[in-house]
Amino acid sequence: MKITTGNDGHSRSAMPGIAWEASPGKGLDVNRTPAPVIDYLRVSITDRCNFRCIYCMPPEGVHAKLHEQILSFEEIERFVFVATTMGVSRVRVTGGEPLVRKGCTGLLARLAALPGVEDLSLTTNGSLLAGHEEQLRQAGLSRINISIDSLNPQRFRRITSGRELRPVLAGLERALDAGLAPVKVNAVMLEGIEDDVEAFVRLARERPVHVRFIEFMPIGRRRGGDWRFVSRRRLMDLIGRFGKLEPAHSPAGGGPARYFRLDGMLGTVGFISSMSDHFCSRCNRLRLTADGRLRNCLFSDKEVDVRPFIGGDPDILRRVIRYSINSKRFNRLAEDPGARTMAQLGG
Ligand code: SAM
Ligand code: SF4
């Protein structure tokens, strides 16, 4: 593999193993004009999931990796630490379903304690959340995203291939009570169920919840399905029937969502329009898959296997990370997402 060395001017340790140096912190300029700063890392800690959302996983599930094929918590911690020395300061733990991996809370505590991790968040389907919220808060989790694609129990069952909505809503309430704020709800709107927006608007009105409508992306093996995304514009039209949408500040975490509020709402509604808008040029993220591959774009199947470098000289690992960043094309239309499902990639 060709590795570009780059020159970010950050001090580096030549010692093997991890050097607990402070993060230089300001994000990594990738020598492009304009130069997006790569400061956000999504870490998938498992490819397993207790749900089978129809647009994400085939009903029989995917062939899950063996335990030894998945990064250990020590490897994840080392990787995240080295990434922070290159300017990553925001880390999101995801999956598969992260809470199905034993010890997830312990890992979060280790990541939260890393110098340089300024913002630690979790994306979960919420089914195992109730009862763990206090542990998560104590672990240092800053905030949480819960994926709920419908607030109608029957529809929810259809979308998740038979799972129940009630425990997820209980998890949402517990997260609010525990102060894991802001609580964001991710709702992938598929064509045909867009009338669900009314219930989501009610949720954002009555609870301090930030509901983000996500345009379905044709990624992984499920892209052959019959689902179509509902555009931000269509959703804004539908929501506009309940009042005037006024632009709102982004809750903590930023990201590509644009937020709005209807008069009297405790929360907000947001839109992540990955399909109808192009925000590639502003992309600030990298993804680490559960089996130790670095993806610089959700829509690209080009991955760099970083696992062999995690236990060695952090300087070499930094070069490998830089190689991945420098290969980022900032143009999803130029990429081919390949066959890996979102559950394998971490969303
Ligand atoms: N299991 C957790 C969950 O559902 O929140 C974390 C992993 S899941 C892959 C992360 C996010 O990706 C979820 O909000 C899910 O709805 C979203 N997602 C999965 N497949 C998608 C697709 N094809 N297009 C858009 N979003 C997708
Ligand atoms: Fe599992 Fe999340 Fe994919 Fe649903 S969206 S199948 S909960 S990984």
Extents of the domains making up the chain = 31-345
Length reported for the chain: 347
| CA-nearest residue, atom 25 of ligand 1 | 216
How far, in Å, is the centroid of ligand 1 from the Cα of 343?
A: 7
Q: Is 178's C-beta closer than 6 angstroms to any atom of ligand 1?
A: no
> Rounded to two decimals, what is the model's pTM?
0.88
- Of the listed ranges 36-40, 178-182, 185-189, 312-316, the least confidently predicted one is 36-40
Q: Is 216's C-beta closer than 6 angstroms to any atom of ligand 1?
A: yes
How far, in Å, is the centroid of ligand 2 from the Cα of 211?
A: 17
What pLDDT does 333 receive? 65
Q: Is 219's C-beta closer than 6 angstroms to any atom of ligand 1?
A: yes
- Of the listed ranges 147-151, 206-210, 257-261, 340-344, the least confidently predicted one is 340-344
State the alpha helices, DSSP H only, in 178-222: 197-206
Residue 197 in contact with residue 238, Cβ under 8 Å?
A: yes
Locate the ligand 2 atom nearest the alpha carbon of residue 52 and give its number.
6
Instruction: Report the distance separating Cα 290 and Cα 30, nearest Å.
Output: 25
pLDDT digits (tens, 9 = 90+) for 86-126: 999 999 999 999 999 999 999 999 999 999 999 999 999 99
Q: Counting ligands in written order, which one lies closest to the CA of residue 187? A: 1
How far, in Å, is the centroid of ligand 1 from the Cα of 190?
A: 13
How far, in Å, is the centroid of ligand 1 from the Cα of 49?
A: 11
Phi then psi for residue 213, to 5 deg, are -85, 125
How far, in Å, is the centroid of ligand 2 from the Cα of 124?
A: 8
What pLDDT does 340 receive? 74
Mean pLDDT for 39-59 is 92
Q: Is 81's C-beta closer than 6 angstroms to any atom of ligand 1?
A: no
201 CB neighbour count, 10 Å cutoff: 20
What pLDDT does 150 receive? 96
Mean pLDDT for 258-271 is 96
Q: Counting ligands in written order, which one lies closest to the CA of residue 52? A: 2
pLDDT digits (tens, 9 = 90+) for 266-287: 999 999 988 888 777 778 889 9
Phi then psi for residue 309, to 5 deg, are -100, -10
Q: Counting ligands in written order, which one lies closest to the CA of residue 45? A: 1
How far, in Å, is the centroid of ligand 1 from the Cα of 17?
A: 34
Instruction: Report the distance separating Cα 213 and Cα 189, nearest Å.
Output: 6
Locate the ligand 2 atom nearest the alpha carbon of residue 127 and give its number.
7
Instruction: Report the distance separating Cα 322 and Cα 4, nearest Å.
Output: 7
pLDDT digits (tens, 9 = 90+) for 289-346: 999 999 988 877 789 999 999 999 999 999 999 999 888 777 666 666 666 777 777 7
- 191 vs 134, residue with greater confidence: 134
DSSP string across 112-128: HTSTT--EEEEEE-STT
190 CB neighbour count, 10 Å cutoff: 22
Q: Which one, of 122, 124, 71, lies nearest residue 96 by Cα?
A: 124
Q: Is 343's C-beta closer than 6 angstroms to any atom of ligand 1?
A: yes
What pLDDT does 10 receive? 32
Sign for the pseudo-dihedral over CA of 259, 154, 161, 290? positive
- Which pair of structure tokens corresponds to residue 53? 């959302």
- CATH classification code of 31-345: 3.20.20.70
- Of the listed ranges 114-118, 188-192, 217-221, the least confidently predicted one is 217-221
Instruction: Report the distance separating Cα 314 and Cα 17, nearest Å.
Output: 7
